[in-house]
Amino acid sequence: MLNLKSHWDSLRSSLWFVPSLLVAGAIILALVLIELDSSIEWHDLQKHWPRLFGAGADGSRGMLTAIASSMITVAGVAFSITIVALAMASGQYTSRVLRNFMRDRANQTVLGTFLGIFVYCVVVLRTIRGGDEGAFVPSLAVLFAMLLALVGIGCLIFFIHHIASSIQAESIIQLAANETLNAIDRIFPAALGEAADTGLIPERESALSGMLWLTIPARLNGFLLGIDNDALLDFARQRGAIVRMEHGIGEFVVAGAPLVSVAGGKPSGEETVGELNAFFTVGHQRTTVQDAGFGIRQIVDIALKALSPGINDTTTAVTCVNYLTAVLARLATQHIETAYRLDNGELRVIARGPSFSSMLGEAFDQIRRNAEGNVAVLLALLEALEVVAGRTQDAGRLQTIARQVELIAEVARSSIPSFPDREGIEAALERHRKRGVTWTKN
């Protein structure tokens, strides 16, 4: 099931899958209309509506040729515009957003529509015969080609508008944020067995430290994209073993390096290595299917590019912080299970997944370090933490937020010596102080 999801996500991210389906549909439509034309008597229709159904062989050929040549030209222009947009997005923002552009269903549909109309006209064109050939003009198919040409014109207008909108920074950031929010809703709470009681964790760690662990090596190089949780739990249950994940989702796996470790039972041999490797999907490019951290990484990379001296786009960086706020606010309300996963009270899997602390650091650490002297961005970070803190009552998460506030305060006071410039930041720090956040004042 996991591999199917991974393959489906790869298909969605390609520029050929949806266009290919539309081209195939256009061929089927053309054949159906041609057969329908050949089985219906059109004399009465041609008599009553000669301008719709009365076109001769030469006129039909000329119209279909014009439509086909126009559509293939427009398709070439559309592909060129798409490549230019991809290159610009990669240079202006980050190459990690290219996958979002490529999986844009509107772009794929428009490109497929242009190619489909072209193929439709070619298929219909080859069936037209006139004069000594034994006259046959599929009037309905020719009329439909004219309607498809109008659809193509509408698609071209929409495509230009859509590309102009989608390359704007706000649209790119929003798309990455929406995918991240969807990933968070899918991932948390985790569904890998039962969560262990947090109060028993120290006792379990003490017991596990003395166990003999068998290392299972990875077979592929690449990023860990997903895990078949149910299959992994079944493996541990059937063998009476404990499986410890050595890598989390989104981490890079090296072939031959430990993928998981197994204790208890007797899982040995090449068959076991292959079976365990089959539970993990490894690929050359991270996705947001089970990796919410990758969505955060995309937004952070856009913010870092905006804060670079060559671009210096504070507004885009603040927009990134705003959307990261929405992501972290959603994460703050989610229940993140412990690493120890049980089955009928027995420890079976030691998972390695993201935590609130790690994802908060992923979102804000690099932005904070690159925002020295930038009042707007530092203030946005403090306001973001204020919003996130209001979404949770968990003491550990509030302590993590407090630590971030302390680090931002340190950066602000060391890089912005003028108090008037720092006045908004000081006001935000005072609001955090009233929430119980403390730090060392200079």
**pLDDT at res. 260:** 92
Spatial separation of the C-alpha atoms in residues 424 and 422, rounded to whole Å: 6
Contact 156, 81 (CB under 8 A): no
Q: Which residues pair with 280 in a beta bridge?
A: 227
**pLDDT at res. 400:** 93
Bridge-based pairing of strands 346-350 and 242-245 is parallel
Residue type at 364 in one-letter notation:
F
* Residue 155 binned pLDDT confidence (cut-offs 50, 70, 90): very high
Q: Which of 162-176, 238-252, 339-353 has the lowest mean pLDDT?
A: 339-353
- For Cα atoms 195, 196, 197, give the angle at the middle one, nearest 5 degrees: 120
Q: Which of 78-82, 201-205, 274-278, 357-361 has the lowest mean pLDDT?
A: 201-205
**pLDDT at res. 208:** 66
**pLDDT at res. 191:** 47
pLDDT(442) > 50: no
pLDDT(44) > 60: no
pLDDT(440) > 50: no
Contact 67, 119 (CB under 8 A): no
**pLDDT at res. 48:** 52
Mean pLDDT within 80-92 = 86
**pLDDT at res. 60:** 83
Spatial separation of the C-alpha atoms in residues 261 and 213, rounded to whole Å: 6
Question: CA nearest 333: which of 190, 188, 197, 195?
Answer: 188
Contact 300, 93 (CB under 8 A): no
Bridge-based pairing of strands 340-343 and 346-350 is antiparallel
Residue 186 sits at φ, ψ, to 5 deg, of: -75, -40
Question: CA nearest 283: which of 261, 250, 248?
Answer: 250
Q: What percent of the chain has pLDDT over 70?
A: 85
Contact 279, 228 (CB under 8 A): yes
pLDDT(209) > 80: no
Please write the tens of the pLDDT for every residue from 99-153: 777 888 899 999 999 999 999 999 999 888 776 555 777 878 888 998 999 999 9
**pLDDT at res. 353:** 80
Greater pLDDT, 260 or 335: 260
pLDDT(441) > 70: no
**pLDDT at res. 52:** 54
Q: In what order do the strands lie in the sheet with 280-283?
A: 252-253, 222-227, 280-283
* Residue 87 binned pLDDT confidence (cut-offs 50, 70, 90): confident
Q: CB neighbours of 203 closer than 8 A, spacing ≥ 6?
A: none
Mean pLDDT within 5-18 = 77
For the chain, the domains span 2-167, 182-189+289-338+352-434, 194-283
Please write the tens of the pLDDT for every residue from 46-83: 555 555 555 667 778 888 999 999 999 999 999 899 88
Residue that is written with structure tokens 């794929």 in the block: 108
**pLDDT at res. 273:** 87
Question: CA nearest 262: which of 237, 280, 290?
Answer: 237
Q: Where is mean pLDDT largest: 185-199, 289-303, 313-327, 330-344?
A: 313-327
Contact 240, 296 (CB under 8 A): no
Mean pLDDT within 217-239 = 89
Residue type at 300 in one-letter notation:
V
**pLDDT at res. 264:** 77
**Sign, CA torsion 256/262/266/272:** negative
One of 3.20.20.70, 3.40.50.10490, 3.40.50.970, 3.90.1170.30 is the CATH number of 194-283, namely 3.90.1170.30
Average pLDDT, the chain: 85
pTM, full prediction? 0.83
**pLDDT at res. 367:** 96
Question: CA nearest 15: which of 93, 110, 157?
Answer: 110
pLDDT(288) > 90: no
